[in-house]
Chains A and B, each alone.
Chain A
Amino acid sequence: MDLIANLAHGFGVALTFNNLLFCLIGCIIGTAIGVLPGIGPVATISLLLPITFGQPATTAVIMLAGIYYGAQYGGSTTAILLNLPGEVSSVVTTLEGYKMARRGRAGAALTVAALASFFAGCVSTVLVAASGPLLTSVALSFGPADYFSLMMLGLIISAVLAQGSVVKSIGMVVFGVALGLVGTDVQTGQQRFTFGIPELSDGVGFVSIAMGMFGIAEIILNLEKPEARSVMSGKVGSLMMTREEVRRAIPSVLRGTTVGSLLGILPGGGAALSSFGSYMMERKVSKGRHEFGTGAIEGVAGPEAANNAASQTSFIPLLTLGIPANAVMALMVGALIIQGIQPGPRMVEAQPDLFWGLIASMWLGNLMLLIINLPMIGLWVKLLAIPYRHMYPSILIFCAIGVYSLQNNVFDVYQTVFFGLFGYLCSKLRLEPAPMLIGFVLGPMMEEHLRRAMLLSRGDPMVFVQRPISATMLAIGAIALIAMLLPNIRKGKDKALQE
């Protein structure tokens, strides 16, 4: 009953003209920056922060939140149309989404991405409202050992991602981990693999790698094969999803929402894991698993749902503990502090307008995004009809601007060029970039949690099996590994026997 009264109160706050207006502005800006490759929500929010000074705190946060989840929506557009991921989550969307676009199903891919995001956003918003405080205690029960084991599990299952040679994909994972280790060691402050370049002391930029390996490399490949391009621009296809596609997407959306809602609660890495996790799951369990790698709709629906669910539930640590889970949240904390509100454990009781107003606005914002995005799909798909010789220079320029805006540093642009060339080389050698990115994201986090767990257990490795959460993760990982290896061994034997 309380929940309904509180939600009603929240909608009362969110439905005022001013708040609705700023929610809409936030969603539109978010969609726009999501669509522009590389320009992320952090750069945008920090630019727009001064605008919020004049607004009440609730209005400010509603707008900033709109930019944040609007960018998640918009990010999938360039991932699907141009193979250009701007964030960790959209890397996964490129895998099947871009393939769908190449098959002439860009409209369907964009539609399913929007609908899946909307559904997941609605469900996870209710989850935040109903059980935020309860979920907080789940997040708090995750210690360093548990995080390590969770990521270990993620890395083991990511071997499933291998499309082709397992050895090559393991090689790419390892290379990704090595790239992730570049920069300052968190434990000791030592510089690792920086070759005396100060810009590398905070590590290699994720956006540079992702845009280089996927987007730029793809441009080089397209320029090499003129015939592939004309096929691409010729095939716009029907915008609507077929009944078959709808039927296949629904279970994936449901699974993705569950995975995303749960992983989103874990600060630092949770949201990043969610879309990878959902993709791996779909590859294993969905009906269309045999189509993966050629543009399976499940591979777009699941991860998109997971990513949006996670972006909503990642507000839980901020709202219930006052602890920001990522850079965007940190900026929101900043906006609140400037408004004179100190986010903390009691924000729900102390600032009911803010808490419930934000939750209600998240639901309204998701609805607005759907309304903004669905009619736009036709327009986006038409972009593909633009001759490639006009298209690719503008993509490159936007990429350069976006990457530069991350830290106002030209070095990041050089990095992107480097990874573009490296990505081209990889595709010539048939090396997959996705496992490398998983290694890059998970590797450093695993190392950090491993060393922290060992530090806290005073060097006793038993901590990984003594903690129930950690032990369960490792057990699942071991089972997955065995289940994956057994058929391969059998197959190998069969082959040997035949010969």
Chain B
Amino acid sequence: MRSVARRSVVMGIGASPLLAMGVVAEGAWPSQSIRLVVPFAPGGTTDLVARLIAAGLQEKLGFSIVVENRAGAGATLGSETVARAAPDGYTLVMSNIASHAISPAVYGNKVRYDPVKDFAHIALVVSNPTVWVANPRAGIRTMADVVARAKSAGGLQVATSGAGSSNHLLVVQMSRLIGTEITHVPFRGAGPAMQAVIAGQVPMMSDSLPSSAAHIKQGSVVAVGMCSAVRHPSFPDVPTFREQGFPLESDSWFGLSAPAGTPAPIIERLNREVMALLQTAEIRNRFAELGGTPGTYSAADYNSFIIREVAKWAPLVQAAGATAD
């Protein structure tokens, strides 16, 4: 087992495209189990979706997909292992807005991979809009209330799942747009932040829709604005930021990627299987409940999407002063 794995690593480093192609030509891919690295701790949204996708994919591919959590350093540690893995189609990563757009800007040269060049991106799996929710007793119902509160003497505090998250960067964008500082109150993860908002310790939260959806539906928080291009089908009553006069859009997303040099037929096959999986009623229903939108990109489109995201977030990270240096 071990020697096989080592040999394939050596091949990967050596003359990867040619040799790897040879491997594919020799036998059909896949011929063994596939490792799917999730660069977050178990239990988060990315981890969940990875497990859902893994369960569906292994049925279609006929080989088991082993989900491996390698959290740390803004999702860059797990992504780095995959960037360095053999490009043989047996190591994949859940690429995401943190590991492949924000963290490279936050951690700078400490990130030892290029989010674009070192990967063969396969498919966007899901994107989740950011939503601003308020405690029902805070008296904030619209984005106009948000601005009024921010400009009042007491100011406005907004909780997020952590410094340097896309939710935080949206607070920074909003502050710049309205020309008034909104106080950012970071927590360790969305759970504690949501609890503080429900308890009324912080009036508002900038959150990714999946962690807020149940609380919005059950009325423990009020959705003030959805930060996406269009209203969300599961929450048709919640107007977008743009509708309320604030031209901002912020989706958090994650997808599937492989090390650069993975043969194109494997990438195409995986893209097809993921797209087919995302069309099944079961997955569609789960994503709808969570508030996510399934991806539709081809592999090439996902690649250019990531290029755009990298370019979009770098200046915002600078503006937020969230760099780790």
Contact = CB atoms under 8 A, between A and B. Distances in A.
B202 A201 contact: no
Contacts of B43: 42, 46, 324, 327, 330-331, 333-334
Given A188-B322, A201-B74, A323 B191 contact: yes
A331 B157 contact: no
A184 interface: yes
B155 A458 contact: yes
Given A199-B73, A340-B286, A186 B324 contact: no
Interface string A138-154: 00111110000000000
A345 B195 contact: no
B180 interface: no
Given A140-B195, A201-B74, A346-B218, A407 B51 contact: no
Contacts of A408: 68-70
Interface string A182-209: 0011111111000010110110000000
Given A452-B185, A455-B183, A458-B155, A140 B41 contact: no
Contacts of A196: 110
Contacts of A46: 42-43, 47, 67, 69
A317 interface: yes
Interface residues of A, number: 53
A337 B198 CA distance: 21
Interface string B66-109: 01111111101100100000000000000000000000001100
B213 interface: yes
A53 interface: yes
Nearest to B111: A198
B23 interface: no
B276 to A, nearest CB: 19
B151 interface: no
A448 B198 CA distance: 19
A322 B215 contact: yes
Interface in B183-223: 183, 185-188, 191-192, 194-196, 198-199, 201-202, 213-215, 217-218, 220
B289 interface: yes
Q: Which of B51, B106, B185, B191 has most chain A Cβ within 10 Å?
A: B191
Nearest to B210: A337
Contacts of A324: 43, 191
Given A327-B43, A337-B290, A456 B110 contact: no
Contact of B199 (A143, A201, A409): A143
Interface in A316-370: 317, 321-325, 327, 330-331, 333-334, 337-338, 340, 342-346
A435 to B, nearest CB: 24
A267 interface: yes
Given A191-B324, A198-B76, A409-B70, A186 B199 contact: no
A50 B186 contact: no
B163 interface: yes
Interface in B22-75: 41-44, 47-48, 51-52, 54-55, 67-74
Interface in A429-486: 448, 452, 455-456, 458
B162 interface: yes
Contacts of B220: 321, 344-345
Given A144-B201, A185-B163, A189-B324, A202 B106 contact: no
Given A186-B188, A322-B215, A456-B157, A340 B199 contact: no
A458 B156 CA distance: 11
A463 to B, nearest CB: 11
A160 interface: no
10 closest A-B pairs by beta carbon, nearest first, are A330-B43, A344-B214, A189-B163, A46-B42, A140-B199, A189-B164, A201-B73, A342-B214, A198-B73, A331-B43
Given A189-B163, A201-B107, A342-B289, 4 more contacts: A46-B42, A188-B321, A409-B72, A455-B185
8 contacts: A46-B43, A142-B199, A144-B201, A190-B324, A321-B220, A330-B44, A345-B198, A458-B155
